[in-house]
């Protein structure tokens, strides 16, 4: 079943590559277009994520929410019960903001496997590619392979680095980490309460996710990094266009100051 | 489950899933390379090259003694006239190594490196071609590297490198005057064996993962992933398809007089007559896809299938015997010391030696 899923991804990727003329740099463009396609397909998930994040953000300035934070500051169990009550009463799903992100992991893994399968760097890989192509017969892969893995300065089948004064600088990994950080921060609910578990969780994710995806980009074929960057930029643009981007949260401590100022008024 | 635990669990799962697909000297990344002389089998299988005694299947030595990310071996080892073993690595160092089996370190039980070439930029998939004192080695970076075997260099430098383009996965072949190179980049190239000049570069319809072969008629034959058997004039490069196969041709065709034997990836086995340019008999189809080249012997032709079986056929295509070896066989079987050697993937052993009736004489596995 999983193999069929990866085969489908591979075939769509090759189909786009074929539409683009299968020339130099076109596999990179195919990955970017495929990412846009995936963003469109996963639009409901992302919309749910944004809705959830927005609801959580609004909750931070809610008087009842702030009151229970103060009242049960020393009773974590009771605080959790009260938080759940408010979630229930207001129809808020606390997982709504992070679950869609986690659901993207299978897509990332399938995309990674489809990129490596399409690039087929070993004989066994090329054989698997022929099988993937056979699974969906809308493409004559025999004329397409091997794919041209060059994209800009990169070989999409290998981890990327740019040699600067003899030192290999992993530029894509840095861009992946930065854009992941920006996206996570923009969608992160602001809070003035240091004891808020949801905010602590979001804060933790905004640190660990860039590191995790940056490490992926550093270690795995650069085609995956192209996917991460495209996906992150699309997420940022989508969020900004909806007017929900919390740009001030990009500056450390800034959102807390704003909330504190809001509270004092 | 808390959100934190959920996130960490899925992140770890993702990391493990991705890591499992990465390269490195892991056995099974692709199929092994196999060669043998009268006494010893040489198996290039992931982290090590193993030398195995043909008499009893016992390990004689392994290289390197301890595995590392720099070295991964899948390319078929080449045995030179003076007994050196030359094998390319698909590890991160992209090295081509010459080993001296006559000089094995007693402490590590690994042979001493006679020389190492690290001038290539990608994996070594194809075995090199030795012509006299000259080595013609093609790399996945698209270059033909020409090395002088007698220059005494331990850190070998190429005499010349010629850009051929595309990934070069198949061993070059020679007719004594020219070296012929097939490319996954839908092309076939001829280089002068003495001057190293590029003589011709011809495009074909599909990728060519197997080597070219010289027929008894003096023509060059190539199978392609465009399901064509193509005949070339070795002097000019002029070419035309002589057979449309049912599916992709992966393996290198094998010559037997006027006949070429080859297979396709759906498991059909063809017998093509180069004189009449027709099939001797309709293709036979054993039990699975075939990437390995057929092994032509005096009494029979052996076929190894992805389904893990070895078939012995007579020259009329009739099955004489078949043997289920297990695993998946992609590597071309080798005949040596009266035995047939088979190196499957995903089997309980690394190498099996069969007698002339297909019975298993011994198996080899890495006990460590």
Give the minimum alpha-carbon distance from B226 to chain A in angstroms, rounded to a whole number: 6
**Model confidence band, residue B18 (pLDDT cutoffs 50, 70, 90):** low
pLDDT reading at B24 higher than 50: no
Give the chain A residue nearest B266 (alpha carbons): A131
Give the chain A residue nearest B12 (alpha carbons): A212
Query: Tell me: the pLDDT tens digits for B83-109?
Result: 999 999 998 889 999 999 999 999 999
Cβ contact A123–B330 (<8 Å): yes
pTM of the model as a whole = 0.81
HEC profile for chain A?
CHHHHHHHHHHHHHHHHHHCCCCCCHHHHHHHHHHHHHHHHCHHHHHHHHHHHHHHHHHHCCHHHHHHHHHCCCCHHHHHHHHHHHHHHHCCCCCCCCHHHHHHHHHHHHHHHHHHHHHCCCHHHHHHHHHHHHHCCCCCHHHCCCCCCEECCEECCCCCCEEECCEEECHHHHHHHHHHHHHHHHCCCCCCCCCCHHHHHHHHHHHHHHHHHHHHHHHCCHHHHHHHHHHHHHHHHHHHHCCCCCHHHHCCCHHHHHHHHHHHC
Instruction: Using CB atoms within 10 Å of the CB of residue B203, give its burial: 0 to 12 exposed, 13 to 18 middle, 19+ buried.
Output: exposed
Query: Measured between alpha carbons, how far is residue B201 from residues A30, A146, B234 in Å?
Result: 30, 18, 11
**Per-residue confidence (pLDDT) for residue A76, from 0 to 100:** 84
**Model confidence band, residue B20 (pLDDT cutoffs 50, 70, 90):** very low
Residues in chain A: 265
Poorest-pLDDT segment among A22-36, A184-198, B188-202, B261-275 = A184-198
> 3-state DSSP call for residue B10?
helix
Interface of A with B in 171-190 (CB under 8 A): none
Instruction: List chain A residues with CB under 8 Å of B166.
Output: 146
CA nearest to A110, candidates A38, A62, A212: A38
Which of A109, A198, A208 lies closest to B14 in CB terms? A109
Instruction: List chain B residues with CB under 8 Å of A109.
Output: 14, 17-18
Answer yes or no: are the C-beta atoms of B262 and B270 closer than 8 Å. Answer: yes
Cβ contact A121–B205 (<8 Å): no
**Per-residue confidence (pLDDT) for residue A216, from 0 to 100:** 85
Instruction: Pick left, alpha or beta for residue A51 (phi over 0 → left; psi -120 to 50 → alpha; otherwise beta).
Output: alpha
Cβ contact A127–B265 (<8 Å): yes
Answer yes or no: are the C-beta atoms of B210 and B249 closer than 8 Å. Answer: yes
Cβ contact B21–A112 (<8 Å): yes
**Per-residue confidence (pLDDT) for residue B177, from 0 to 100:** 97
Poorest-pLDDT segment among A90-94, B68-72, B330-334 = A90-94
Give the minimum alpha-carbon distance from B325 to chain A in angstroms, rounded to a whole number: 20
Its ipTM equals 0.88
Average pLDDT over residues B241-262: 96
Cβ contact B23–A121 (<8 Å): yes
Q: Please check whether residue A145 touches B, CB under 8 A.
A: yes
**Per-residue confidence (pLDDT) for residue B13, from 0 to 100:** 55
Instruction: Answer with the residue of higher pLDDT: B140 or A22.
Output: B140
- The angle that helices A26-41 and A2-19 make with each other, rounded to 10 degrees, is 120
Query: Tell me: the pLDDT tens digits for B160-187?
Result: 999 998 889 999 999 999 999 999 999 9
Which of A123, A205, A215 lies closest to B30 in CB terms? A123
Q: Cis link prior to B64 (omega < 30° from 0)?
A: yes
In angstroms, rounded to a whole number, what is the distance separating the alpha carbons of residues A186 and A173? 20
What is the arrangement of strands in the sheet containing B301-304, beginning at the earlier edge strand? B295-296, B301-304, B309-313, B319-324
Q: Hey, of B15, B32, B207, which one would you mutate to test binding to chain A, going by the most A CBs within 10 A of its CB?
A: B207
- The per-residue pLDDT string of chain A (265 residues; one tens digit each, 9 = 90 and over) reads 888 888 888 888 888 999 998 888 999 999 999 989 888 887 777 777 777 777 777 777 788 888 888 888 888 888 888 888 888 888 887 776 666 667 777 887 888 788 878 888 889 988 888 877 666 666 777 778 888 888 998 888 778 777 777 777 889 999 999 999 888 887 665 555 555 666 666 677 778 888 988 988 888 888 889 988 998 898 888 778 777 666 776 666 655 555 555 555 5
Cβ contact A126–B209 (<8 Å): yes
Average pLDDT over residues B228-239: 98
**Model confidence band, residue B15 (pLDDT cutoffs 50, 70, 90):** low
Instruction: List chain B residues with CB under 8 Å of A219.
Output: 18-19, 22
Answer yes or no: are the C-beta atoms of B353 and B347 closer than 8 Å. Answer: no
How many A-B residue pairs are in contact by the CB < 8 A criterion? 90
Average pLDDT over residues B278-288: 94
**Model confidence band, residue B25 (pLDDT cutoffs 50, 70, 90):** low
Instruction: Answer with the residue of higher pLDDT: B15 or A116.
Output: A116
Instruction: List chain A residues with CB under 8 Å of B22.
Output: 219-220
């Amino acid at each position: 079943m999983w193999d069929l899923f990866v085969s489908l991804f591979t075939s769509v990727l090759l189909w786009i590559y074929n539409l683009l003329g299968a020339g130099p740099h076109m596999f990179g463009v195919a990955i970017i277009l495929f990412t846009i396609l995936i963003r469109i397909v996963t639009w409901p998930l992302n919309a749910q994520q944004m809705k959830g994040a927005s609801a959580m953000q609004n909750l931070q300035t809610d008087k009842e929410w702030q009151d229970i934070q103060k009242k049960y500051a020393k009773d974590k169990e009771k605080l959790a019960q009260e938080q759940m009550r408010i979630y229930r009463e207001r129809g808020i799903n606390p997982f709504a903001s992070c679950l869609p992100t986690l659901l993207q992991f299978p897509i990332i893994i399938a995309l990674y496997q489809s990129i490596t399968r399409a690039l087929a760097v070993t004989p066994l890989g090329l054989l698997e590619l022929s099988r993937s192509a056979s699974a969906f017969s809308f493409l004559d892969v025999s004329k397409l392979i091997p794919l041209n893995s060059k994209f800009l300065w990169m070989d999409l089948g290998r981890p990327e680095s740019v040699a600067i004064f003899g030192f290999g600088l992993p530029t894509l990994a840095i861009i992946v980490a930065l854009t992941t950080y920006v996206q996570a921060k923009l969608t992160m609910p602001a809070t003035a309460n240091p004891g808020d578990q949801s905010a602590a969780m979001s804060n933790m994710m905004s640190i660990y996710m860039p590191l995790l995806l940056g490490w992926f980009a550093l270690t795995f074929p650069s085609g995956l990094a192209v996917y991460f960057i495209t996906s992150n930029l699309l997420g940022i643009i989508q969020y900004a266009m909806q007017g929900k981007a919390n740009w001030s949260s990009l500056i450390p401590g800034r959102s807390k100051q704003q909330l504190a100022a809001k509270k004092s008024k | 489950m808390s959100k934190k635990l959920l996130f960490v669990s899925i992140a770890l799962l993702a990391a493990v899933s991705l890591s499992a697909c990465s390269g490195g000297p892991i056995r099974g990344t692709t199929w092994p390379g196999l060669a043998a002389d009268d006494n010893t089998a040489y198996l290039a299988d992931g982290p090590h090259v193993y030398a195995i005694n043909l008499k009893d299947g016992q390990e004689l030595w392994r290289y390197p003694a301890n595995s590392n990310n720099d070295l991964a071996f899948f390319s078929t080892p080449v045995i030179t006239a003076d007994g050196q073993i030359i094998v390319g690595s698909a590890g991160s160092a992209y090295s081509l190594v010459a080993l001296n089996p006559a000089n094995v370190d007693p402490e590590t039980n690994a042979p001493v490196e006679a020389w190492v070439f690290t001038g290539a930029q990608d994996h070594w998939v194809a075995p090199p071609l030795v012509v006299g004192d000259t080595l013609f080695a093609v790399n996945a970076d698209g270059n033909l590297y020409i090395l002088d075997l007698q220059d005494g260099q331990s850190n070998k430098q190429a005499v010349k490198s010629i850009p051929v383009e595309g990934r070069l996965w198949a061993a070059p072949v020679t007719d004594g005057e020219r070296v012929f190179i097939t490319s996954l980049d839908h092309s076939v190239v001829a280089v002068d064996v003495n001057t190293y000049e590029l003589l011709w570069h011809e495009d074909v319809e599909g990728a060519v993962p197997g080597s070219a072969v010289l027929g008894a008629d003096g023509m060059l034959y190539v199978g392609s992933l465009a399901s064509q058997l193509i005949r070339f004039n070795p002097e000019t490069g002029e070419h035309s398809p002589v057979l449309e196969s049912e599916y992709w041709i992966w393996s290198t065709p094998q010559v037997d007089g006027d006949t070429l034997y080859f297979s396709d990836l759906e498991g059909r086995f063809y017998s093509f007559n180069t004189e009449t340019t027709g099939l001797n008999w309709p293709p036979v189809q054993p039990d699975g896809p075939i990437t390995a080249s057929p092994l032509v012997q005096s009494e029979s032709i052996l076929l190894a299938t992805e389904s893990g079986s070895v078939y012995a056929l007579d020259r009329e295509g009739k099955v004489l015997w078949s043997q289920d070896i297990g695993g998946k066989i992609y590597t071309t079987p080798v005949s040596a010391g009266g035995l047939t050697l088979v190196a499957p993937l995903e089997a309980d052993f690394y190498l099996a030696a069969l007698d002339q009736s297909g019975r298993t004489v011994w198996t080899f596995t890495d006990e460590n």
